[in-house]
Amino acid sequence: MSGMSNPVVTLGLPPEHEYSCSRAACRDEASWAIQWRNPKIHTEDRRKTWLACDAHLETLREFLASRDFPLSVMPVSELEK
C-alpha cells in the first residue's frame, strides 16, 4: 500500500482520478497524503506516502500511528509533482 498511486487496470481508458486511495479495494479519489516512515528501517530523510480518500483517512492514519511511526498528513494538493 505504499507509493504515490496504485496501478489500476483501465483497459486503455485514462485513470479515473489523478490520485487514488491506497486502502485495499478502494479506488476513490484521494484528498489526503499521509507521509510516514518506519524508524527501525528508514533513515530520518526517508518518507513513504499513502494516499487516502476522506472515508479512509482516519483508518490509514490510525494504522500507522498505532505502530508509533512518525507521520504527517497533508492535502494531496501540497504534494510535489
Q: How many CA atoms lie within 13 A of 15 on its CB side?
A: 13
What pLDDT shows up at residue 9?
58
| Rounded Cα–Cα distance for residues 20 and 6 (Å) | 7
| Runs of H (alpha helix) within 15-80 | 57-65
Residue 34 in this model has a pLDDT that exceeds 90: yes
What is the pTM assigned to this prediction? 0.79
DSSP character at residue 42? S
DSSP character at residue 29? B
Split at pLDDT 50, 70, 90, the class of 80 is confident
Split at pLDDT 50, 70, 90, the class of 2 is very low
Per residue in 4-17, pLDDT (tens digit) is 555 555 566 777 88
Q: What is the mean pLDDT of the chain?
A: 88
